[in-house]
Amino acid sequence: MSDTDLGAMDAGQLRALFESGKASPLEATRAALERIERFNEAVNAYVLVDREGAETAAAASNKRWQQGRPLSAIDGIPVSLKDLTESVGLPARKGSLTVSDAPCERDSPPARMLREAGAVILGKTNTPEFGWKAITDNRVFGATANPWDTRLTPGGSSGGAAVAAALNMGVLHQGGDSGGSIRIPASFTGVFGFKPTFGWVPEWPRSKEATLSHLGPLTRTVEDAVRMLNVMGRYDYRDPYALRGQPADWGEELGQGIEGMRIAFSPTLGYARVEPEVAECVRQAAHRLEALGAVVEEVDPGFESPIRIFNTLWFTASLAVYREHSERQRRLLDSGLVADAKRAERLSALDMFYALRDRARLTESLEHFNQRYHLVMTPSVAVRPFPLHHDVPPGSGMRDWEEWAPFSYPFNLSQQPAASIPCGFTPDGLPVGFQLAGGKHDDARVLRVSQAYLEAYPPTFPERPNQV
């Protein structure tokens, strides 16, 4: 395959080559590893690369394909895991100086399912400490840079996975999303990111605020996201919040078109401030969906900003993390995480009660809204990517990441499926994404509309990190 760049291919293309015998999983794995060698130094997406383990797994996949007995549609496909995700034989540092670098002795559900499907685990991608914020840096591995401009953040907390997807350093990338941690970096890097309905992709051990956390894929294509979900979007008894009822094929509605689909386009959700360059890209995407046959109506869902609800839960989870560490360990924690924990010390049991009550009301409101509209469309993020080593855009006057990412966490509170779809670039060449969210268990519909848009308006990816 000397005239074919295996490292630039998606999972469907690689599978076809494996079936025909024109290329092998070992060749595809080595191509992915070669891209990591070329690009990772500039962006710091991977914090661990398991070359030996990946080549061993790929060689075993070779034999299965030669025998015509692949384990799944992604047998031999190179994948990555977020460094919060446990995988046997690999450390999970979680971006924290308080966590051992000893290899894990157990597989999380995504790691187990991907391994059992024959996928080739390349290594672990970067995350902020315990995934606490929406940019990707930590005191263990440093910052991950945006491939479109390495002076800028790719967002977070699944920033390493998003950058790996943008540069195709591996094909399928597992992320996690408790307030936007898949969709925010997907938007900032120009890839597809999907947060499934809560409980449909099992997680264990559970994150500290378990009822906000969704696991999902970051990929270049919707089809690849579906291939990944068809493996890891299955029930696992170890997750106490795991649900059954996932579609047998997560892509069952792909290719059906979107004629007559009712989409509520809410440019601000009624309360957010959006940078004009971002707003213009997203509005153009709304016009494009309309041209594809959707019925797009500009309307707000009708709820106030739920930032108080989210921060009550989020800061309390930070406090739980803080208090589970010794005094010596606390000095090693990210100062921002500690600041959030201290803010939670002022909260009462009644504050938590009201937050849970208001969360239920928000969910009820959104579910009622989805009886009138199939999907809700918003920007994915309110701002463009901003410089590294800042939790908020410099000079913005903001304090918390939730202020510049007001569109994502409402759908973690409601536990509904949501995707970020790349929709173009600002005048200075930075990616923009729009968000599509659906009612609970409407995942196939979100994927269907995402696919229709990207099929009509294919995204552009960086050829290499842009080191300005």
Q: Sort strands 46-49 and 172-177 into parallel, antiparallel or unpaired.
A: unpaired
Q: 87 has which bridge partners?
A: 90
Which pair of tokens denotes residue 212? 């906000």
Q: How far apart are CA 391 and CA 336, in angstroms?
A: 9
Q: What is the dihedral of CA 286, 183, 43, 190, to 10 degrees?
A: -20
Choosing from 24, 61, 80, 82, which is the catalytic residue? 82
Please state whether the peptide bond connecting residue 217 to the residue before it is cis, i.e. omega within 30 degrees of 0. no
158 is catalytic: no
Tokens 């009201």 belong to 354
Residues 6+ apart with CB under 8 A from 440: 197, 198, 367, 414, 415, 416, 417
Sign, CA dihedral 407-198-377-127, equals positive
CB atoms within 10 A of CB 464: 12
Sign of the alpha-carbon torsion through 51, 56, 61, 62: positive
Q: Identify whether 213 is a catalytic site residue.
A: no
Active-site residue among 61, 157, 178, 213?
Answer: 157
Q: Catalytic site residue 181? A: yes
Q: Catalytic positions, please?
A: 82, 157, 181
